[in-house]
Amino acid sequence: MKKIPPTFAPAGIVDGSFELSATRRGLLRGIATGVLALPLMPMARKPEAATVTDACLFVGEELARYGFPNGHPLGADRQDTFLKEANMQGLLSKVRTCPPRIATTEEIGRFHTQHHIDRVMHAERAKLEYLDNGDTPVFPGVFEASANVVGTAVDGLARVMLGESGRSFQPIGGLHHAGRAHAAGFCVFNDLGVVIETLRRHYGIGRIAYVDIDVHHGDGIFYAYEADPELIFADIHEDGRHLYPGTGGEDETGKGAAKGTKLNIPLLPGAGDREFLQAWPRVEEHLQRFQPEFVIFQCGADGLRNDPLAHLQFSAAAHAHAARRLRHIAGQCAQGRMMAFGGGGYDRDNLAKAWTAVLRELV
């Protein structure tokens, strides 16, 4: 058996290349801490043109900044790479694009501890090099960038719940390794966890499906809701004996009253579309059994062949299949309500292919 890699990958050294202007930064921080008023989200309205789908794509400069400098695998160029491909495929004219917004600390605190929020907020001043054991470096504007990932997800959720969008896709998001009290594996704040908490507290939606096909196990969500019988979890990933974070065994099915509500499907290194498609019906059966009222999809692109950090061999067809089927299931039992998040993916061609495949299925 291979030793479980303790960290994701050698991470970059922090430099100043992502410096925000002092004014802009003050403004963002003011909004996040509630000192300044947040611009209100426009109320529900009909899509501008009949030819445009009711799916919403969340992209923008503030999201792109969620990336680590100096050759880190999760660089700040990922959103642009995706957008270029989406544009080339003519997808951007079919979807409404929506801008990012920063989260308030109250919103981040729906999932995270105040201690973790404070630590990230003051990480630069405290001259921390990393937020974890060496995967997730501090960089200039780390709090603002991370809070934008969360705020945008909360905004996307509001649009879906108000009926303004049927579905949303946020490529820079899906930071599934962050736990309630810590950053991990390139993930500072867990936008997915904040969405789950917001669904429950603000929209009264309890039974939520969380489906994760990122090559890494979604441990930040799994362990936060391991004993929660209403979080319907399904995760196809590379076997934890070979890959970070080392968890997500077939026997991890939930605890106590939640036993049986969690489905982990580890695949051995080298597994490709054939193995993915063999496993997929189990995900569908799992969701059908629990009839979720909302579907969250983490579609990390790092399971594709030649990802520099992992060893599976999916093609973008796997992502297209999952997105198509989840849209169908959301239509059956969740009034079509579905949010997709980009997650990992470190080969740029792969992430462009996988994420555009997902977007194509959602428009």
Least spacing, CB of residue 33 vs Zn ion, in Å: 31
C-beta closer to Zn ion: residue 159 or 177: 177
In whole angstroms, how close is the CB of 74 to Zn ion at the nearest point? Answer: 9
Does the CA dihedral 179-182-135-118 come out positive or negative? positive
Q: How far apart are CA 143 and CA 119, in angstroms?
A: 9
Question: CB 193 → Zn ion: shortest distance, Å?
Answer: 16
With beta carbons less than 8 A apart as the criterion, state whether 189 and 178 touch: yes
Cβ-proximal residues to 41 (8 Å cutoff; 6+ apart), any chain: 101, 155, 158, 159
- Where does the chain have alpha helices with state H? 22-32, 61-64, 78-88, 105-108, 114-121, 142-162, 191-203, 219-224, 273-290, 316-333, 348-362
The tokens of 53 are what?
Answer: 């789908």
Q: Per the structure block, which two tokens stand in for 172?
A: 């820079």
CA 1, 310, 303, 58 torsion: positive or negative? positive
CB of 297 to Zn ion, least distance (A): 14
Is the Cβ of residue 156 or residue 300 nearer to Zn ion in the bound state?
A: 300
Please say which residue, 8 or 290, places its beta carbon nearer to Zn ion: 8
The CA distance from 286 to 234, in Å, is: 8
Nearer to Zn ion, 198 or 298 (CB): 298
Burial of 92 (0-12, 13-18, 19+ CB in 10 A): middle
To Zn ion, the closest distance from the beta carbon of 161 in angstroms equals 28
**C-alpha 117: how far from its chain's center?**
18
Which residue number is nearest to Zn ion in terms of Cβ?
Answer: 344
For the bound state, the minimum distance from the C-beta of residue 149 to Zn ion, rounded and expressed in Å, comes to 15
Closest distance of CB 275 from Zn ion, Å: 17
Residue number with CB closer to Zn ion (151 or 300): 300
Tell me which residues touch Zn ion (CB under 5 A): 214, 216, 300, 302, 344
Q: Which is nearer to Zn ion, 68 or 290 (CB)?
A: 68
- We find the least distance from the C-beta atom of residue 98 to Zn ion, in angstroms, to be 25
Q: Cα(74)–Cα(59) distance, rounded to whole angstroms?
A: 17
Pick between residue 144 and residue 214 the one whose CB is nearest to Zn ion.
214
Shorter beta-carbon distance to Zn ion: residue 187 or 320: 187
Question: CA 190 to CA 208: how far, in whole Å?
Answer: 16
User: Regarding beta strands 294-298 and 262-267, do their DSSP bridges make them parallel or antiparallel, or are they unpaired?
Assistant: unpaired
Name the one residue in this structure whose structure tokens are 């009253």: 257
Instruction: Scan for tokens 């001043």, then name that residue.
Output: 125
Shortest reach from residue 237's CB to Zn ion, in Å? 8
Cβ nearer to Zn ion, comparing 96 with 216: 216
